[in-house]
C-alpha cells in the first residue's frame, strides 16, 4: 500500500530479515531515499511474540512514520533521534485524543 507523508508518497511493505538484512536488528525500517516503510511481521508466528502483536506492528509503523515525517520536513536531527521518534510513536494514540478534544472545543464557550 502507499501513503502520503507531507506530500511525498511512501510505499508500505512487508519483508523478513531473510529478504532484507537491515531487519536483522529492527522490526521496521524507514528508507527515506527510496520512500519506503518496511515492516517485518514474521514475529506473528513466534510463540514468544507480544500479546496483541498487531498493536505492536502498528506502533512500529507509527515509529517509521515519524522518521519519514521528520525526513520530509527536513528535520534530520529529529529524524535520527530514536528516543524522540519512539516516544511519539508510543504517545500518538493519546496525543490524537487530546488534539481531537482541542479541535472540537467550542471557542465561544471557553
Closer residue to Zn ion in complex, CB, 19/82: 82
> In sequence order, which residues have a C-beta less than 8 Å from that of residue 32 and are 6 or more positions away?
67, 68, 71, 72, 79
Closer residue to Zn ion in complex, CB, 55/82: 82
> Which DSSP string do the residues of 76-96 spell out, in sequence order?
HHHHT-HHHHHHHHHHHHHHH
11-45: buried (b, 16+ CB within 10 Å) or exposed (e) per residue?
A: eeeebeeeeeeebeebbbbbbbeebbbbbbbbeee
Interface with Zn ion (CB under 5 A), residue total 1
Closer residue to Zn ion in complex, CB, 14/101: 14
Q: How far is the CB of 16 from Zn ion (least distance, A)?
A: 18
Q: How far is the CB of 29 from Zn ion (least distance, A)?
A: 8
Residue position matching grid coordinates 536483522: 24
Closer residue to Zn ion in complex, CB, 24/108: 24
Residue 77-96 contact track with Zn ion, rule CB under 5 A, x = bound: -----x--------------
Which residues contribute to the site for Zn ion (CB under 5 A)?
A: 82
Amino acid at each position: 500500500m502507499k501513503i502520503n507523508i507531507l506530500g511525498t508518497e511512501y510505499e508500505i511493505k512487508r519483508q523478513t530479515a531473510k529478504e532484507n538484512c537491515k531487519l536483522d536488528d529492527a522490526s521496521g525500517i524507514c528508507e527515506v531515499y527510496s520512500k519506503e516503510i518496511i515492516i517485518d511481521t514474521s514475529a506473528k508466528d513466534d510463540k514468544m511474540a507480544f500479546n496483541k502483536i498487531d498493536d505492536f506492528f502498528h506502533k512500529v509503523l507509527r515509529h517509521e512514520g515519524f522518521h519519514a515525517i521528520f525526513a520530509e520536513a527536513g528535520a534530520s536531527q529529529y529524524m535520527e533521534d530514536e528516543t524522540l521518534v519512539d516516544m511519539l510513536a508510543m504517545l500518538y494514540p493519546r496525543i490524537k485524543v487530546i488534539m481531537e478534544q482541542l479541535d472540537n472545543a467550542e471557542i465561544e464557550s471557553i
